[in-house]
Structure 1
Amino acid sequence: MLNIQSHVSLKPHNTFGIDANARYWVEVANEDDLKTVLQLTDFINQPKLILGGGSNVLLCHDFDGLVVKVAIQGINVSREDDDHIYITAGAGVNWHELVQFCVQRGYAGMENLALIPGTVGAAPMQNIGAYGVELEQVFESLTAVHILTSERKTFTHAECAFGYRESVFKRDLKGQYIITSVTFQLNKRPIFHTRYGAIQETLTEMGVSDDRLSIKAISEAVIRIRRSKLPDPSQIGNAGSFFKNPEIPKIQFDTLKDQHPDLPGYPMGDDVVKIPAGWLIEQAGWKGYRSGDAGVHARQALVLVNYGNATGDEILLLAKKVQESVHDKFGVTISPEVNVI
């Protein structure tokens, strides 16, 4: 049964821990309830904010409309063939729980994406990725409901138009659909990705040799790395990586490399090189910076943090200062990965 509440605090529902309020709030546990909410006369013209785990938003003010918390659960095997197994998960399923579900059953492809905060429904919106793997590599399709018409639509891989930390849902279809379930294509025979970041080094520290390599070992290595570098949102408010890693022309990278020999770079093809935003921010002197309760994490400069009572505006002001500083020093623009509301 639907329970629409008014004047609800969003502080427990965003990992930054920002104290903002929703004029109206509702949690939906299935697609039918979602459609019912969208068709209610009193709310048809209300602005709507869709929340999953609240791990990729920065709330800069109260939301004067309806916040819809998508809590659709369920993980099941939808079909399989000789090489793949297809898993469908509700949009409200915790992402890490889905990864562990697959790893424990030997379904390969998601292991590098372990411990990413958030829910399944939010994952394709920004094409989440980590340690050399992006969601689009295991994505098959999704279902979504149109906010205005309540029409249900299935989106294929091509229709999602994935890019680096983005999709059609952050561009042409922004604010038009609510994702209700996602289907993933996992491999029965694993393809290991161990060259990115400190995965290989961590596997060695764990005593995992090449002949004992498994998706479970890779998942455990990724979890160990993330826990050592990234703050726990239950302890310090944050939304993980605040900025995207910028991609710049190779000619610009070569010039910067001459000036800064330690600058890391990852060739992306088409004479484009991706560089770590965290390295740029750290070199610009921001690592460990704090102003009031807004700060840059002491172990990972890519993460902005709320030490207690920072407002969204204070975090956003800090983000803009970091962007300006990086651009002044390197001539490189870094863009937020987090959605500013």
Structure 2
Amino acid sequence: MSTLDSTLKPWNTFQLEARAAEVNVISSPDELLHYWQESRRLSQPALLLGEGSNVLFLEDFVGRVLINRIKGIHIAEDALAWHLHIGAGENWHQLVVHLLSSGIPGLENLAMIPGCVGSAPIQNIGAYGVELSQICEYVDVLNFSSGKIERLSAADCLFGYRDSIFKHQYQTGYAIVAVGLLLAKKWVPVLTYGDLVNLEVTTVQPQQVFDEVCRMRSSKLPDPKKIGNAGSFFKNPVVTTETAMAIKSRYPQAPVYSLDDGNFKLAAGWLIDRCDLKGYRVGGAAVHSQQALVLINENNASANDVVALAREVRQRVGEKFNAWLEPEVRFIAAEGEKDAVGVIS
């Protein structure tokens, strides 16, 4: 454990200036429970963070921020699959790299997604045709009330598109401490999105998929170490058949994906781009000039700049396409998370 200065700038990839009453780096569930209980005793809010790659601090946080660095990668196997038990504080991309170098494929489509393993189930992270829900076996959570670790099966997690039980019933009072993944030994490449469709399905290797995903993401997404950002700011909107067909009739080239429930998923970046918003600025915040789905801290942006920019983007897309964007990024106010849609509506 180490106690740091209360600045939150190193702990959010937007690199926004914000402060907390205290910041503690946690390396075990016991430490996590101790500091959480200490915050409760002081009637002080507490916020658990991984790498801060999916948060927007709206203002200073009046409580304690706990940085999850619970580590560990344990691999078991049977005839059909590898069973992985991963500490929530492990870096997601480094996990993908480590497994691939160990001859364990299955996560290559999810390469370069920022953040820690513990954040993955909350968002049900996904990219290039693969979602965490497809490979998750269980999630271990620390119940702050009982002090015990409970295991939720993948079904218990109620995974949806960028959604899970951890955004609802398990949002408070619990913390993810480990994630169990199940990776089949019979590897089946997923080549349905982006330039992956150009790879030859009969001969492609996991490393080729990994390399192509990294190339695509690097060409579009700014490095948060160089330009503050939180990756994809908005979710891809899900709309009715009527809305999707109306867009398709006006823009035949529009990327529209049918879902099992009869609705359709649109590409938020494409919608924003068609509103001529690439490079659009509000104060120090801007829509990234190469990937419209990313909002950036271009020049010492304030949280108000980012919020105003997000509001403008949502309004323009909604008016033009009747598709209303919702932030993927979590909005954190003085005492905890706020409804992001409510903030920018």
Indicate whether the TM-score tops 0.5.
Answer: yes
SS in 2 for 1:124: helix
Distance in 1 (CA, whole Å) between partners of 2:138 and 2:261 is 28
Who is 2:289 aligned against?
A: 298
For 1:336, the equivalent position in structure 2 comes to: 327
3-state DSSP class of the match of 1:258? helix
AA of the residue aligned to 1:71: R
Q: Tell me, what secondary structure is at the counterpart of 1:36? A: helix
Structure 1 residues 325 and 179: CA distance shift in structure 2, 3 A: same
Q: Is the 8 A contact 1:287 1:298 kept in 2?
A: yes
2:311 is matched with which residue? 320
CA RMSD of aligned residues (A): 1.5
Bigger mean CA deviation after superposition, 296-305 or 281-290: 281-290
Do structure 1's residue 26 and structure 2's residue 24 form an aligned pair?
Answer: yes
> Hey, what does 2:280 align to over in structure 1?
289
Report the equivalent of 1:214: 205
Percent of residue pairs identical: 41
After TM superposition, the structure 1 = structure 2 runs for residues 103-252 of structure 1, keeping only pairs within 5 Å, are: 103-201=100-198, 203=199, 209-252=200-243
CA distance in 1, matches of 2:277, 2:104: 40
Helix, strand or coil at the partner of 1:158: coil
Q: 2-side partners of 1:100 and 1:178: how far apart? A: 25
Letter matched to residue 158 of structure 2: A
- Count matched residues: 332
Alpha-carbon spacing, 1:39–1:291, altered in 2? closer, same or farther (3 Å): closer
Structure 2 SS opposite 1:123: helix
The aligned residue for residue 36 of structure 1 is: 34
CA distance in 2, matches of 1:165, 1:297: 22
Tell me by how many angstroms 1:258 deviates: 1.2
Partner of 1:206: none
* CA deviation after TM superposition for structure 1 residue 262, in Å: 2.3
Bigger mean CA offset, 311-320 vs 251-260: 251-260
Mapped contact 1:136–1:157 kept (Cα < 8 A): yes
Partner amino acid for 1:87?
L
Q: TM-score, normalised by structure 1?
A: 0.93
* Displacement after TM superposition at 1:4 (Å): 4.3
Q: 1:255 aligns with which of 236, 246, 253?
A: 246
**Equivalent position of 2:48 in the other structure:** 50
Q: Which amino acid aligns with 2:243?
A: Q
What letter corresponds to residue 306 of structure 2 in structure 1?
Answer: I
Task: Return the alpha-carbon distance in structure 1 between the equivalents of residues 201 and 24 of structure 2.
Answer: 49
Structure 1 segments, 4+ long, off by >3 Å, are 2-5, 41-44, 209-212
Contact 2:96–2:111 (CA under 8 A) maintained in structure 1: yes
Match of residue 311, structure 1, among 291, 302, 324? 302
Q: Tell me by how many angstroms 1:212 deviates.
A: 3.7
What is the deviation of 1:47?
0.6
Q: Unaligned 5+ residue runs, structure 2? A: 333-345
Per the alignment, do residues 211 and 3 of structure 1 end up closer, same or farther by CA in structure 2, a change over 3 Å counting? Answer: closer
1:286–1:322 CA contact under 8 A, matched in 2: yes
State the distance in 2 between where 1:270 and 1:91 align.
32
- Check conservation: 2:96, 2:107, Cα contact below 8 A: yes
> Shift of residue 40 of structure 1?
2.6
